[in-house]
Amino acid sequence: MVTTSIRRSIEALIARHEPLLREAFLTAIDDIRNSITLRIVVERLERGDALGAIEAMQIEREAFSRFEQALFDVYADGGQAEVGNLPKVRDPDGNRVVFRFGLRNPEAEAWLRDHSSTLVTRIVDDQREAIRQHLTAGLAEGKNPRQTALGVVGRVDRSSNRRTGGVIGLTVPQEEFVRRARQELLSGDVRAMRHYLTRGRRDRRFDRAVMKAIREEQPLDAETVNRITGRYADRLLALRGEMLAQNETQEAISQARTEAIRQQIAAGKIDADAVTKVWHHTTQENPRLHHRAMNGKSVAYGEDFVLPNGVRMAHPHASDAPISEKAFCKCHFSFRIDYFASVERRFRARAA
């Protein structure tokens, strides 16, 4: 069936592109933190200049060029996959209707340009705010400027000679998770240290040391806390890369497939009235029940799906949908096209 073919194509695209997008993001973060001159950051912090310290880190959009290119590749392949799955049909004269996807189509280029720009700007701004939050808190608490800076950029791993840990690349909430985890471990407070043990992304290899501190009602030493929170930050960064790659891969593919059909309609190869969109729920752990309820639901080409919770979406992973409806969602959709009706309408139009 065509629907099965489309589903397999989508799964193959996700399997190919999601790791590449994740790697591109994490590589950008690695390059940023390993290009930082720690001495300059520390000097500016010693003057109380947190904004100057952030500027010295050079967290710029250009650092994510490879990530943007990976996003472009996903979009291109998504559009090509959609037209590649369209069946072979002929026009009233018997000529084969050739379906093609134009990546340089003005509307396709506009979405790519605007989405990529907005996404990377948001990533950069979010990082800068998370770093500002971390530095400001460190200065306010009277911490050593060097230790505060290392908490941001990470410490050099002797085995790889690369920086690990630190909050560069994390979202504002994730930075707060790391900062609070550090406070919990240094507090010596039994309740606070026990709360650390509820953090799902912690490195459980350190749990024995934490439980020992709880039994003794003593804070952990600073060096141990540095290692623990560094690993915690690394795991949160991995989660962010995973989530970002999954969401953006799915969204780019969905948008490209929609654009591919729009182009066929604009070219007169498909009649918009002959197109129906169908929502497909993919079985997964902890599914959204209101997404599962949408399985098999269909709407006309120009209409939105209306979810049981009232949210309207043009299709799964639509750009303007709330992140709560997209994060880690594995739903997809298909186009049901009445090709006979499209050919018949074109034939009647020519006859008239």
- What pLDDT, on a 0 to 100 scale, did the predictor assign at position 349? 56
The answer to whether 96 and 19 have CB atoms below 8 angstroms apart is no
Spell out where 76-194 has E strands: 155-157, 162-164
Instruction: Give SS3 for 117.
Output: helix
- Tokens encoding 98: 């050739």
Q: What angle do CA 220, 223, 226 make, to 5 degrees?
A: 90
The answer to whether 189 and 199 have CB atoms below 8 angstroms apart is no
* Helices vs. strands in the chain: H and E counts, helices first: 12, 7
311 half-sphere exposure, CB direction, 13 A CA radius: 17
Output the CA–CA distances (angstroms, integers) from residue 167 to 60, 142, 297, in the order listed: 16, 19, 43
Question: Average pLDDT for consecutive 10-residue bins of the chain (352 residues)?
Answer: 74 96 97 95 93 95 96 96 88 83 94 95 95 90 90 89 92 96 95 97 97 95 94 96 95 96 93 94 84 94 95 94 90 88 59 50
- What pLDDT, on a 0 to 100 scale, did the predictor assign at position 1? 47
Element (H, E) at 305: strand 305-306
**Could you give the CA distance from residue 316 to residue 254 in angstroms, rounded to a whole number?**
7
- What pLDDT, on a 0 to 100 scale, did the predictor assign at position 284? 74
- What pLDDT, on a 0 to 100 scale, did the predictor assign at position 28? 97
The answer to whether 281 and 291 have CB atoms below 8 angstroms apart is yes
Output the CA–CA distances (angstroms, integers) from residue 142 to 39, 48, 63, 186, 343, in the order listed: 19, 11, 32, 15, 74
- What pLDDT, on a 0 to 100 scale, did the predictor assign at position 350? 55
**Could you give the CA distance from residue 184 to residue 43 in angstroms, rounded to a whole number?**
29
- What pLDDT, on a 0 to 100 scale, did the predictor assign at position 138? 86
